[in-house]
């Protein structure tokens, strides 16, 4: 029997549409002889749908019509592992089960799909899933905690000041002072846990700093402020694997057209002239791969190797699994390369960076599913609970329980 792979896409984040493109790309790339891809579309109002029609990108132009043909479902843990998708609401007659999945393949970007939320559900339902686990997903989503871990591992990240909304409301003067002293101006203000440049602003003087902070606070209650690199070159590298073994892809240079690479730049690039870099994109309605990019980045071999090494170290430091994209910023004036951020579910799963490294999209999806199964096998060797009922051991001299791996208690 083919392995049934539930591909999750859509979601509630601002990157909903990008996720639909990425999700369908993954479904169409999968080896149909080995895997049965089952689409699970999460609508902006959080309803889950399944159905064949959801695999057709054209159908999304009329979302209402599409959803009237799709089946709303809820997940229920299957007896033998995996998830059963049941019709929701339950039909008055007939079968409730729509399909069953053996492996979950989340292709959601941003809030709750990429931040560990959905991964937590997969953990509870005991289904193997593609990509980072709960901890790595959550760590990667928060720019503050991510940089704290990387800094601790001696990986190059920009200095920053971070704070919560409440601290700003209570004493903005001392935060401004701290930023001026530790970061200096110009600076860049970012929400700690969003993507797509949402809420990001540049501050060149104290007044614009306060404005940028107030604006960013509309999107998040935790902010991070960094020095602004004015002579900036942006390069990205994808990493595939797990904490045992991970490999780096080729590197892309992302060409920017505005002060900050904005949401419009990233996702609506096609309307402004499309790709210069030959990203190997499929014609699936634009999306991530239409950002202007050069692949491979025209940089010396040495620099390529440096970035690849940093990318793999970042991936491992954060405890990642599956495929991630690590974004770098080079300060050209000072010739320093910084790790900027990690995307643990990158747009289009970064397939174009692997194609350029001679790994086609089908092989990439295969590797990802196999990595999910490997992690599940590894986990089954660990002890999560002890066999004996400690209450029943009273008077017997304490716990002799503990199965494989040995609990210390
Ligand atoms: N310290 C910085 N100096 C200059 N530009 C920056 C800096 N940090 C981010 N940017 C610009 O803003 C963009 C978005 O920032 P990033 O940290 O990647 O957030 P997001 O998660 O929204 O993508 C980057 O791609 C880059 O163009
Ligand atoms: Mg970014």
d(CA 119, CA 112): 9
Helix (H) / strand (E) element for 263: namely: helix 263-267
175 CA from centroid of ligand 2 (Å): 25
Query: Ligand 1, closest atom to CA 196?
Result: 22
339 CA from centroid of ligand 1 (Å): 11
Q: Does ligand 1 come within 6 angstroms of the Cβ of 188?
A: yes
Task: Give the tokens for residue 123.
Answer: 């953990």
Question: For residue 235, which of 343, 337, 118 has the smallest C-alpha distance?
Answer: 337
d(CA 333, CA 137): 33
Q: Does ligand 1 come within 6 angstroms of the Cβ of 14?
A: no
Q: Does ligand 1 come within 6 angstroms of the Cβ of 255?
A: no
Q: Where are the alpha helices (DSSP H) in 70-200?
A: 117-124, 134-141, 143-152, 165-170, 172-182
Q: Does ligand 1 come within 6 angstroms of the Cβ of 201?
A: no
Residue of minimum CA distance from atom 19 in ligand 1: 197
Percent of the chain with pLDDT over 90: 78
Q: What is the pLDDT of residue 195?
A: 74
* Confidence category of residue 17, pLDDT binned at 50, 70, 90: very high
Q: What is the pLDDT of residue 257?
A: 58
The 10s digit of each residue's pLDDT in 208-263 is: 999 999 999 999 999 999 999 999 999 999 999 999 999 999 999 999 755 555 55
Q: Where are the domains of the chain?
A: 3-129, 140-155+231-369, 161-227
Average pLDDT, the chain: 89
End-to-end CA distance of the chain: 42
d(CA 144, CA 159): 11
Mutate to test the pocket of ligand 1, among 329, 342, 344, 346 (most ligand atoms within 8 A of CB): 329
Percent of the chain with pLDDT over 70: 86
* Confidence category of residue 56, pLDDT binned at 50, 70, 90: very high
The 10s digit of each residue's pLDDT in 58-117 is: 999 999 999 999 999 999 999 878 999 999 999 999 999 999 999 999 999 988 889 999
327 CA from centroid of ligand 2 (Å): 7
| Residue 234, strand partner residues | 254, 329
Q: What is the pLDDT of residue 256?
A: 73
Q: What is the pLDDT of residue 113?
A: 87
d(CA 273, CA 283): 15
Q: What is the pLDDT of residue 344?
A: 97
Give the angle subtended at the CA of 100 by the CAs of 99 and 102, to the nearest 5°.
Answer: 150
Query: Ligand 1, closest atom to CA 227?
Result: 1
Helix (H) / strand (E) element for 352: namely: helix 351-355
Angle between helices 206-216 and 172-182 (to 10 degrees): 120
The dihedral sign for the CA sequence 324, 149, 138, 100: positive
Give the angle subtended at the CA of 113 by the CAs of 108 and 118, to the nearest 5°.
Answer: 130
* Confidence category of residue 289, pLDDT binned at 50, 70, 90: very low
Q: What is the pLDDT of residue 379?
A: 87
d(CA 142, CA 208): 24
Task: Give the tokens for residue 143.
Answer: 């720019």
HSE toward the beta carbon, residue 197, CA cutoff 13 A: 14
d(CA 196, CA 114): 13
- Please check the confidence at residue 316 and state whether its pLDDT lies above 50: yes
Name the 3-class secondary structure at 244.
coil
Look up the CATH number of domain 161-227.
Answer: 3.30.1490.20
By the 8 A CB rule, do 271 and 371 touch? no
- State the fold for domain 3-129: Rossmann fold (3.40.50)
Q: What is the pLDDT of residue 268?
A: 47
* Confidence category of residue 395, pLDDT binned at 50, 70, 90: low
* Confidence category of residue 277, pLDDT binned at 50, 70, 90: very low
| Average pLDDT over every residue of 367-388 | 87
Q: Does ligand 1 come within 6 angstroms of the Cβ of 295?
A: no
Q: What is the pLDDT of residue 194?
A: 81
76 CA from centroid of ligand 2 (Å): 35
263 CA from centroid of ligand 1 (Å): 11
Q: What is the pLDDT of residue 262?
A: 56
Q: What is the pLDDT of residue 308?
A: 98
Residue where the block lists tokens 């591909």: 7
Task: Give the architecture (CATH level 2) of 140-155+231-369.
Answer: 2-Layer Sandwich (3.30)
The 10s digit of each residue's pLDDT in 164-177 is: 999 999 999 999 99
* Confidence category of residue 270, pLDDT binned at 50, 70, 90: very low
């Amino acid at each position: 029997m083919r392995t049934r792979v539930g591909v999750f896409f859509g979601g509630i984040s601002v990157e909903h549409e990008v996720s639909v493109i990425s999700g369908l790309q993954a479904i169409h790339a999968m080896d149909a002889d080995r895997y049965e891809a089952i689409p699970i579309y999460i609508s902006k109002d959080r309803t889950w749908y399944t159905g064949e029609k959801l695999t057709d990108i054209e159908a999304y132009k009329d979302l209402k019509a599409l959803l009237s043909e799709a089946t709303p479902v809820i997940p229920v843990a299957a007896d033998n592992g995996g998830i059963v998708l049941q019709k929701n609401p339950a039909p008055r007659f007939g079968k409730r089960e729509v399909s069953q999945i053996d492996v979950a393949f989340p292709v959601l970007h941003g809030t709750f799909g990429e931040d560990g939320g959905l991964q937590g559900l997969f953990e509870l339902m005991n289904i193997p899933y593609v990509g980072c686990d709960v901890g790595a997903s959550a760590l990667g989503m928060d720019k503050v905690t991510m940089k704290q871990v990387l800094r601790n591992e001696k990986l190059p990240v920009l200095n920053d000041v971070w704070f919560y909304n409440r601290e700003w409301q209570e004493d903005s003067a001392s935060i401004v002072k701290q930023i001026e002293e530790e970061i200096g101006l110009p600076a860049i203000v970012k929400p700690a846990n969003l993507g797509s440049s949402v809420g990001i602003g540049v501050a060149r003087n104290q007044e614009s700093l306060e404005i940028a902070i107030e604006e960013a606070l509309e999107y998040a209650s935790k902010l991070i402020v960094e020095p602004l690199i004015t002579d900036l070159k942006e390069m990205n590298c994808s990493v595939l694997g797990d904490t045992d073994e991970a490999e780096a892809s080729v590197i892309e240079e992302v060409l920017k057209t505005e002060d900050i690479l904005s949401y419009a730049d990233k996702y609506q690039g096609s309307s402004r002239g499309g790709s210069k870099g030959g990203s190997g994109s499929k014609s699936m309605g634009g999306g991530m791969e239409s950002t202007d990019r050069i692949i491979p980045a025209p940089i010396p071999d040495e620099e390529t190797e440096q970035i690849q090494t940093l990318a793999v170290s970042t991936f491992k430091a954060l405890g990642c699994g599956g495929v991630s994209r690590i974004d770098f910023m080079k300060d050209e004036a000072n010739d320093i390369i910084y790790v900027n951020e990690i995307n643990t579910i990158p747009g289009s799963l970064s397939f174009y960076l692997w194609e350029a490294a001679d790994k086609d999209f089908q092989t990439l999806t295969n590797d990802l599913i196999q990595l999910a199964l490997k992690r599940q096998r590894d986990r089954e060797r660990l002890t999560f609970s002890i066999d004996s009922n400690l209450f029943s051991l009273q008077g017997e001299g304490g716990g002799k329980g503990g199965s494989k791996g040995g609990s210390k208690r």
